């Protein structure tokens, strides 16, 4: 993208693209032109990635790290010397001050080399001290960021507890106000990456607050340091994958913490945590891209070198199908990640739906690509002397990290339908649309607007005007699916009303449709940008166009399946079978009996 385009885009107010889908709307100015890297960004990314690759060749032994379940200290310090411990930190505090797109691209490079190393670095800066970057005071930043950005100190993010996973509100760790400018913190945190290795902990605690004369508990984020009395750790967890990254329980036994260690607003820690996780999910999505690229390289090398029936297996149709699927999936994930980060650079502030989509679609795509790569490698893939099984073990955690994909599907759906639900509530009880409105006369104008918008979504296709002619057919499919999605959201709200919160089957389908719309739009925009760029050689343009057509076809199929499931499904049977399996404490059948 030219400097002129960058400047003009920076002046625009960019709202969440994915949130607009729920109204049947699309803001093309936030998508076209696709936010490509500037020349300056390219130069920085190439230099950093080259340094990372050279360092890794001499210092990162993934097999050894995995076997010993440890990353040597000299490797950690070497990464710090490259600037990899402070990628997003301002230069005045010793960091690299990379924007979101550059941060993601460098992190992707690291993740493509070693999952454990990426996990350690991500837990340190993507979430460990991200709250300090986001909401820290100038005094707090000056005190801790110089150490954290240069590797003199390592950070950890402490939210999860034995009884609290995705339900952050249920944490038990308590910070009691002593009335003398300090808190006493007691509790425990579970599965904390960098747990025993860290020096700086972003700890989320319950604190007491008086509201309208009543005592209520809210969440507050506190900085706790390892050297504080009362901080201790559990044994290092013996994990299936990312074994070299350290995971431990962290215990706080009457730890005295000064009030100046409050990160963000007192009692607003839940929002602080969610903002941190929004950034972390983007890093995870970009890391998945790096992992997929590594697997594709391994799979292609094997397919070209492995001969059967007198020909390399890369000549066989079913192997070609697998390779093409791996490539198109990677292109799709890369497109949604960098559409998101590019818009963040250009000023998009609300990106929580996009970041959740990147995490869900990215982690599931990585898992599919890893599984496919191992299948291409066949017997070699199953043997520990090859890297496939280790990469598979490392990749599996991504579907669980930073909010399980099941919880995030609910998050995507409920976050997205919040706006349309508020619009529908103006009409009366959304679960009782067939009954009279509370005030029919007053509601006539609202009803007219609602009917007009609904008819627009039903019969007027909002075409993409900036798309390249080679992708017009795919763009028309996107527009049609966008209109259908908005109607499906409204129908769901009318059917369930506020009870949609307790119905995860439609939530999951809504999330999947929103995800596929975002995938299609990002791929169309990115490929349009490539096809319009005269500096790109024709061979690469043709390659990208073919990849995009595969990615868009597959996305369309997945979206159609989710849409059909909104009205034709076996949800009731699914629930009944699950309930019976729980009743029988397992499968509950034996062929011997019947």
Catalytic residues: 402
Residue given tokens 């074994």 in the structure block: 243
Residues contacting residue 367 through CB under 8 Å, at least 6 positions apart? 395, 396, 398, 399
What is the C-alpha to C-alpha distance for residues 90 and 111, in angstroms, rounded to an integer?
23
> Are 284 and 122 spatial neighbours (Cβ–Cβ below 8 Å)?
yes
Residue recorded with tokens 């941060």: 103
Look-up of token digits 């003009």: 8
Tokens of 453: 């918008």
CA-based Rg of the chain, rounded to a whole angstrom?
A: 25
Cα angle 238, 242, 246; round to 5: 60
Residues facing residue 247 across a β-bridge? 193
C-alpha span between 191 and 193 (Å, rounded): 6
The owner of tokens 């719309």 is 517
Question: Which is nearest to 125 in space by CA: 98, 89, 82?
Answer: 89
Compute the distance between CA of residue 507 and CA of residue 501 in angstroms, rounded to an integer.
Answer: 8
579: which 2 tokens? 């309930």
407: CB partners within 8 A, 6+ apart: 166
Place of tokens 């579907």: 399
Give the chain's largest Cα–Cα span.
83
* Closest CA relative to residue 136, chosen from 281, 301, 8, 261: 261
Q: Report the alpha-carbon distance of residue 344 to residue 400 in Å, rounded.
A: 25
Burial of 211 (0-12, 13-18, 19+ CB in 10 A): exposed
- In this structure, the dihedral spanned by the alpha carbons of residues 451, 455, 461 and 465, taken in order and rounded to 10 degrees, is -30
Count of Cβ atoms closer than 10 Å to residue 441 Cβ: 7
CA distances to 19, 179, 508 from 581, in Å: 37, 53, 22
């Amino acid at each position: 993208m030219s400097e002129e385009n960058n400047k003009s885009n920076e002046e625009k107010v960019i709202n969440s693209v994915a949130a607009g889908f729920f109204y049947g709307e699309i803001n093309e100015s936030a998508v076209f032109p696709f936010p490509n890297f500037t020349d300056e960004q390219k130069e920085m990314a190439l230099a950093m990635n080259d340094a990372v690759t050279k360092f890794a060749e001499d210092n990162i032994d993934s097999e050894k790290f995995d076997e010993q379940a440890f990353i040597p200290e000299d490797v950690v310090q070497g990464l710090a010397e490259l600037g990899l411990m402070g990628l997003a930190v301002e230069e005045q505090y010793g960091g690299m001050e990379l924007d979101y797109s550059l941060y993601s691209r460098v992190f992707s490079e690291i993740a493509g080399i070693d999952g454990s190393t990426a996990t350690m670095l991500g837990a340190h800066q993507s979430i460990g001290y991200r709250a300090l970057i986001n909401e820290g005071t100038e005094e707090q930043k000056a005190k801790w960021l110089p150490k954290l950005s240069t590797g003199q100190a390592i950070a950890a993010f402490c939210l999860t507890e034995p009884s609290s996973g995705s339900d952050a509100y249920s944490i038990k760790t308590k910070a009691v106000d002593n009335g003398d400018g300090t808190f006493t913190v007691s509790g425990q945190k579970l599965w904390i990456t960098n747990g025993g290795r860290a020096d700086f902990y972003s700890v989320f605690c319950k604190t007491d607050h008086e509201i309208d004369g009543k005592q209520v508990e809210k969440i507050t984020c506190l900085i706790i340091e390892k050297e504080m009395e009362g901080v201790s750790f559990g044994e290092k967890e013996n994990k299936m994958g990312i074994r070299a990254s350290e995971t431990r329980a962290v215990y706080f036994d009457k730890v005295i913490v000064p009030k100046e260690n409050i990160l963000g607003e007192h009692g607003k820690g839940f929002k602080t945590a969610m903002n941190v996780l929004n950034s972390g999910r983007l890093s995870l999505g970009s890391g998945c891209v790096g992992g997929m690229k590594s697997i594709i390289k391994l799979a292609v090398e094997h397919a070209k070198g492995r001969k059967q029936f007198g020909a390399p297996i890369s000549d066989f149709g079913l192997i070609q199908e697998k390779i093409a699927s791996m490539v198109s999936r990677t292109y799709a994930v890369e497109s949604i990640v960098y559409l998101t980060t590019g818009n963040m650079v250009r000023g998009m502030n609300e990106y929580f739906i996009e970041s959740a989509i990147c995490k869900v679609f990215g982690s599931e795509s990585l898992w599919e690509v890893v599984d496919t790569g191992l299948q291409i490698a066949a017997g070699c893939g199953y043997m520990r002397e090859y890297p496939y099984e280790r990469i598979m073990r490392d990749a599996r955690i991504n579907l669980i990290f930073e909010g399980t994909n099941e919880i995030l599907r609910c998050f995507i759906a409920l976050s997205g339908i919040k706006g349309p639900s508020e619009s529908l509530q103006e009409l009366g009880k959304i679960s009782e649309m067939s009954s009279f409105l509370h005030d029919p006369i007053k509601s006539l104008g609202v009803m007219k607007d609602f009917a007009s918008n609904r008819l627009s979504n039903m019969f007027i296709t909002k075409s993409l005007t900036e798309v390249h002619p080679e992708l017009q057919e795919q763009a028309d499919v996107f527009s049609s699916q966008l209109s259908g999605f908005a109607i499906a959201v409204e129908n769901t709200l009318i059917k369930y009303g506020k009870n949609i919160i307790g119905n995860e089957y439609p939530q999951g389908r809504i999330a999947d449709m929103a995800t596929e719309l975002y995938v299609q739009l990002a791929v169309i925009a990115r490929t349009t940008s490539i096809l319009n760029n005269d500096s790109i050689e024709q061979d690469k343009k043709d390659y990208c166009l073919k990849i995009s057509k595969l990615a868009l076809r597959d996305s369309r199929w997945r979206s159609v399946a989710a849409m059909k499931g909104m009205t034709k499904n076996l949800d009731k049977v699914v629930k009944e079978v699950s309930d019976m399996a729980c009743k029988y404490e397992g499968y509950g059948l034996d062929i011997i009996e019947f």
